[in-house]
Structure 1
Amino acid sequence: MWRHVLAGLILSTGVALVHADTPQHVSTSDAYQQSIEKWRAERVARLTAPDGWLSLIGLEWLQEGANKVGSASGNDITLLAGPAHLGVVTLDKAGQVHIKLADGSGATIDGKAVQEATLIDDMHVTGNAAPTKVEFGPANFYVIDREGRKALRVKDADASTRKDFLGIDYFPIDPSWRIVADWVPFDPPHDLQMGSVIGTIDTVKVPGKAVFQHDGHTYELLPYQEEPGGELFFVLADRTSGHETYGAARFLYAALPQNGKVVLDFNKAYNPPCAFTSFATCPLAPPENRLDLRITAGEKKYRGAH
């Protein structure tokens, strides 16, 4: 009878049962190790995807009026990939961006073989829509808006940063750096000034603070939410920053608080795109999130830093 029951379990679960003499227990620490390794693999897959952060080859700021774009040196914006003369991108006084492709460019706009279109930037798309993408061979660009300044974010699946990626170095996985912090909500939310590597300063709304202890000392971190109802997003620095880890900041996401607690898993602290490319517009850790603490967990400084 038990043989039939066990066979049914195998068929229904897809899990093969092992011999009784074989250890079947997977410790909590082993399961945690595997979960972090899985998270790391997924992180690297996103980073190295054809349109991931390693594919960036340009951050080209638009001037008001007509901007001739192409790979030839005579253009107003010289791209590192694509046809010699791609077309003209016009930024009008109202901040609208329009493109007219050159004859024979071979480029498409959102996958369509049209000659011209208005380009919707990343800050003015609606719902789950993506900014208008102009594609030419393995490369593409779309418009980003940073405090009213418009730029072309240029990507290339054949970028050397992607093809020559050296991998990520990590601190050893340490379950003690998975910290359950107290959550102190702010009502109303507080304002926090966030600088960036391109010199902009954004004001973000902070819904509360995470308070935790380490080696007998108390620390606080302030997060914001990139979208309403989204996860908590921490931009932080610590005493490893600029030495073992990237100097400007590391990023950390955390699930929304439950029962007055929030889990800070520093084994998932990771480098911003600016650690890999000079063509990103990353936030800097605000003074409030610069901890007098060595967080020896998560990603280390990239060996192939630009």
Structure 2
Amino acid sequence: MARLCAWVLVGLALAGCGAAPSGGEAGGGDVAAAAVAADPAFVAAQEAWRAERRADLRRPDGWASLVGLHWIELPAHYVGSGPTAGIRLAKGPERMGLLQQQRGQVFFTPEADARLTVDGEPAQGRFELFPESSPTPTVIGFDDGRGLVTLIERGGRKALRVKHAEAETLVRMGELDYWPADPSWRIQARFVPHPPGRTIQIVDILGQQEAQPNPGVVEFERDGVPYRLEALEGEDGGLFLVFADRTSGHESYAAGRYLSTAAPAAEGSVVVDFNRAYNPPCVFSDFATCPLPPAENRLDLAVTAGEKRYARP
């Protein structure tokens, strides 16, 4: 029900930006922009990024390998793939072990014959599970390393995230589709920082809301029209942008796309390459908890660049 409610929220949020743009709207110059010739080096760099993107998705522990997301509701759960398990896994040993919550901590006691590992070493006795957000997250391995279990926290709740190298979504993963590489969508933008400590409320695909660090706003122009995107913290000092646009729900994924940038320069300049806009993990699996675009990041612009909508095989 939570996921259904989130999809309703998405549909309502994108209703105003899903119609096809007319010639007088902000996206009207895209036909001319698409005619810009891309030099071979630019195209080769984009193709290399796309190949890396697909290879990352197809890793045995990549997003397409998700096979379960199990919320921890009780003080104790038996975990396994067998019919008597309180948390029943799609794959793995019938009886994996006992999961317990105590004073905000999570512990796991493996079954003697489950052949589990903890952070790559054979599991021996009861141990604490540290979440993915911690400096030293715990990884439980099963099925000779083909399966992995980690602990995640979302909106004050805890869940087991389960991946497996033989997940159907991974084994049968289809091709990714993109708009043609277009240098006009590699835009020199400006980063305007917010006061330190500012956050923004982000809703995920399950309808859960959480405050995320909001370091600043990215300002750019397209066809002479100014636009703004609120930024989240990215990797290595870079920015993470979650946005929807006039292609959302049509040529691209309805719930928006993601885009990462390098760290802004000291004077605030930052390159936003929409050719590298990509689909969130929930496109490939029902077990991801994808953040949705905040209201400020629903662009009245058709971003005809980057990854298109994915159809699961």
TM-score scaled by length of structure 1: 0.85
Which residue number in structure 2 is paired with residue 214 of structure 1? 222
Which residue number in structure 1 is paired with residue 205 of structure 2? 197
- CA distance in 2 between counterparts of 1:97 and 1:134 reads 17
- Candidates 48, 51, 76, aligned match of 1:38: 48
Q: Helix, strand or coil for the counterpart of 2:169?
A: helix
Which residue number in structure 2 is paired with residue 12 of structure 1? none
- CA distance in 2 between counterparts of 1:143 and 1:33 reads 39
- CA distance in 2 between counterparts of 1:251 and 1:215 reads 22
Q: CA RMSD in A?
A: 1.7
- Which whole-Å deviations, capped at 9, do the CAs of 1:40-81 have from their partners, x for residues lacking one? 111111110011001100000112311011111221111111
Structure 2, unaligned runs of 5 or more:
1-36
Q: CA deviation at 1:218?
A: 1.2
Which residue number in structure 2 is paired with residue 97 of structure 1? 106
Q: Helix, strand or coil for the counterpart of 1:42?
A: helix
Computing the radius of gyration over CA atoms, which structure comes out larger, 1 or 2?
Answer: 1
Which residue number in structure 2 is paired with residue 253 of structure 1? 260
Residues 86, 101 of structure 1: 8 Å contact kept? yes
Which residue number in structure 2 is paired with residue 20 of structure 1? none
Q: Helix, strand or coil for the counterpart of 1:270?
A: coil
What is the one-letter code of the residue matched to 1:301?
R
- Candidates 282, 291, 297, aligned match of 2:290: 282
User: Relative to total residues, which structure has the larger helix share, 1 or 2?
Assistant: 2
Which residue number in structure 1 is paired with residue 91 of structure 2? 81
Q: CA deviation at 1:147?
A: 2.7
Q: CA deviation at 1:193?
A: 1.2
Which residue number in structure 1 is paired with residue 138 of structure 2? 131
- Candidates 151, 174, 192, aligned match of 1:166: 174
- CA distance in 2 between counterparts of 1:143 and 1:185 reads 33
- Which whole-Å deviations, capped at 9, do the CAs of 1:234-290 have from their partners, x for residues lacking one? 000101111111111211011122233211100000001011101011100001000
- CA distance in 2 between counterparts of 1:281 and 1:234 reads 16
Looking at both structures, which has the greater relative contact order when contacts are Cα pairs under 8 Å and sequence separation is at least 6?
2
- Candidates 129, 133, 158, aligned match of 1:119: 129
- Which whole-Å deviations, capped at 9, do the CAs of 1:276-306 have from their partners, x for residues lacking one? 101011100001000010000000011117x
Which residue number in structure 1 is paired with residue 12 of structure 2? none
Residues 223, 232 of structure 1: 8 Å contact kept? yes
Residues 65, 163 of structure 2: 8 Å contact kept? yes
Which residue number in structure 1 is paired with residue 60 of structure 2? 50
2:70 equivalent to 1:60: yes
- CA distance in 1 between counterparts of 2:94 and 2:213 reads 44
Q: CA deviation at 1:167?
A: 1.5
Residues 59, 153 of structure 1: 8 Å contact kept? yes
Relative to 1, partners in 2 of residues 1:105 and 1:298: Cα closer, same or farther, differing over 3 Å? same
- CA distance in 2 between counterparts of 1:299 and 1:108 reads 37
Relative to 1, partners in 2 of residues 1:214 and 1:237: Cα closer, same or farther, differing over 3 Å? same
- CA distance in 2 between counterparts of 1:49 and 1:273 reads 13
TM-score scaled by length of structure 2: 0.83
2:158 equivalent to 1:150: yes
- Candidates 237, 240, 245, aligned match of 1:233: 240
Structure 1, unaligned runs of 5 or more:
1-26
What is the one-letter code of the residue matched to 2:110?
L
- CA distance in 1 between counterparts of 2:47 and 2:138 reads 32
Residues 48, 54 of structure 1: 8 Å contact kept? yes
Q: Helix, strand or coil for the counterpart of 2:50?
A: helix
Q: CA deviation at 1:226?
A: 4.2
99-108 or 262-271, larger mean C-alpha shift: 99-108
Q: CA deviation at 1:28?
A: 7.5
Residue correspondences, number: 274
